[in-house]
Structure 1
């Protein structure tokens, strides 16, 4: 029976871990590629343009989030699953901020790992419970009423990140570099956000973000 997906690239500096992942998922992919450093991982990704990239946060040369940035730019069609050995809030924050499609721990059981891959390959995001809880906490709001109001407005994680960057007084060019969108698209996001939250200027956006816990006053 032909595997459902074409190719996967695993970036990890531990060969035993890569071998374990191979055994677990090789039935899902026609091609299995591997790399043992961030630099070689980016090279392999550019060469093979894999449908899925699985990348460790801690690599011997550069952190996984920097690898993800490069892969996102050079392989825009690739889906990306990040992971680390232990739950690390810093790792989750960094990987989430560069737009990975999922995050799991290495010590998750085989079923959880396969579920993550299958969910991501269906075009949805998948975060293990620990990572999901931390991300929710990171962008959570001060009270339940506000939280429901925000959810009703259906803010995406991309929009939340753009609101935060606007508050930091980033230019459209700087925001576009960070969220991997064109300047024109960023301006469209900015305009739509202003209309939805009823903000006429930067001060209005900052007030909204502070009230809803998207930023803290000490961050400004």
Structure 2
């Protein structure tokens, strides 16, 4: 884990926002760099704050979490997006993951899970809890439910398949590199190539592709 993880939070409910911030204060590795009341406020200040992770509510005035996620990815801002919301509908989970979110938490999550989600998303590129795992699995099993769209005629090399399997095991670039004798930079390059070949935006998309095509169980 890097020395400090810079995080931002966007939520229109100040009491909840301050509660999350307070719960994270006992972890010196996490540094708050931006508070925002909505997506518009977040986008206006994110370039200055430069967070590594954004905790993002879904229902906000002026610009909601879905619109904000789309805009962050459209601008190619290098930030991990963790949705934290009361919305427990699996359709939101699938849509946000496909849009570019890196994790999805419900607002009744324990503070320890929020900390774990932030750290894991920074290290692995995503954080899947049981709720998200079940939603992704149901999507794969029920082809008519928000059918995923991948590039056609995908031809992966044996090395790319090897890295993809390890990504699905939630291993970091350092761990993958150590296991298959590659540098972390080379592993990141293979991950980027996988994203391009498969036509997805984040690690969640890679995992969904691997499950759907039986590369992993």
With normalisation by structure 2, the TM-score equals 0.61
Q: RMSD between aligned alpha carbons?
A: 3.2
Q: Paired residue for 2:127?
A: 126
Aligned ranges 1:106-185 → 2 under 5 Å? 106-140=107-141, 161-163=149-151
Check whether the contact 1:9–1:33 (CA below 8 A) recurs between aligned residues: yes
Q: CA deviation at 1:140?
A: 2.7
Check whether the contact 2:24–2:111 (CA below 8 A) recurs between aligned residues: no
Q: Paired residue for 2:6?
A: 7
Q: Paired residue for 2:90?
A: 89
Q: State the alpha-carbon separation in 1 of the partners of residues 87 and 71 from structure 2.
A: 24
Q: CA deviation at 1:98?
A: 0.9
The yes-or-no answer on 1:189 pairing with 2:201 is no
Over 3 Å counting, the alpha-carbon distance change for 1:91 and 1:62 in structure 2 is farther
Q: State the alpha-carbon separation in 2 of the partners of residues 130 and 98 from structure 1.
A: 18
SS in structure 2 opposite 1:77?
coil
Q: CA deviation at 1:25?
A: 1.9
SS in structure 2 opposite 1:62?
coil
Over 3 Å counting, the alpha-carbon distance change for 1:29 and 1:112 in structure 2 is closer
With normalisation by structure 1, the TM-score equals 0.61
Moved over 4 A (4+): none
Question: Which structure has more helix as a fraction of its residues?
Answer: 1
Check whether the contact 2:4–2:31 (CA below 8 A) recurs between aligned residues: yes
Q: Paired residue for 2:102?
A: 101
Per-residue displacement from partner, 1:88-116 (whole Å, max 9, x unpaired)? 22321221111211111110112211111
Q: CA deviation at 1:190?
A: 6.8
Q: State the alpha-carbon separation in 2 of the partners of residues 89 and 30 from structure 1.
A: 31
Q: CA deviation at 1:56?
A: 0.8
Q: State the alpha-carbon separation in 1 of the partners of residues 43 and 61 from structure 2.
A: 14
Q: State the alpha-carbon separation in 1 of the partners of residues 118 and 198 from structure 2.
A: 33
Unpaired runs of at least 5, structure 2:
153-192, 200-208
Per-residue displacement from partner, 1:119-140 (whole Å, max 9, x unpaired)? 1121331122112201111123
Q: Paired residue for 2:156?
A: none
SS in structure 2 opposite 1:80?
strand
**With CA pairs under 8 Å and 6+ residues apart, which has the higher RCO, 1 or 2?**
2
SS in structure 2 opposite 1:162?
coil
The yes-or-no answer on 1:49 pairing with 2:50 is yes
